[in-house]
Amino acid sequence: MTIKEVAEKFDMTNDTLRYYEKVGLVGPVKKNSSGMRDYSESDLKRIEFIKCMRSAGISIEVLKKYVDLYDEGENTKLERQHLLEEEQDKLEEKIKTMTEALDKLKYKIELYKTNKLDEYL
């Protein structure tokens, strides 16, 4: 699969795909005879996972750490699990924070709708 196809499939730019490869999140991706990237199935799986985790705000640094541990092999399994569990906690916390903000936002909108605006902002 070419870089263009992958970019379209996952709705991201070629630049981002090359960037992820440069920082070691993906690949190194095989090149064909003319030097162009040819993404494998397992490249795609990684990209999908990375993309999903990025959309949740997990940093490239953390993902890189996870990928590196994965590439180190079996003996890092527990450490990887712990890393994911930590990110799970952070993510749950973030969702909670955002849900609280959403509630306040909804309340404020309700005030606008009922013309009962309070005194500030």
Interface contacts to DNA, rule CB under 7 A: 2-5, 12-16, 18-19, 31, 33-37, 54, 59-61
CA distance 22 to 36: 15
Residue written as token pair 């849900």? 99
**Does 10 sit near its own copies (CB under 8 A)?**
no
**What does the buried/exposed string (b/e) look like for 57-90 if buried means 16 or more CB atoms within 10 Å of the residue's CB?**
ebebeebeebbebeeeeeeeeeebeebeeebeee
- Please identify which residue in 34, 75, 104, 116 interacts with its own copies, judged by CB under 8 A: 104
Q: Which one of its own copies, DNA, none is in contact with 66 (Cβ closer than 5 to 8 A by kind)? A: its own copies
Per residue, the 3-state secondary structure of 20-40, as one string, reads HHHCCCCCCCCECCCCCECCC
Query: Of the listed pieces 3-11, 12-20, 31-39, 53-61, which binds its own copies according to CB under 8 A?
Result: 53-61
Give whichever of 35 and 55 is closer to its own copies, judged by the CB atom: 55
- Burial class of 25 by CB neighbour count within 10 A (0 to 12, 13 to 18, 19+): buried
Give the footprint of its own copies on this chain (CB under 8 A): 42, 45-46, 49, 52-53, 55-58, 66-67, 70, 77, 80-81, 84-85, 87-88, 91-92, 94-95, 97-102, 104-106, 108-109, 112-113, 117, 119-121
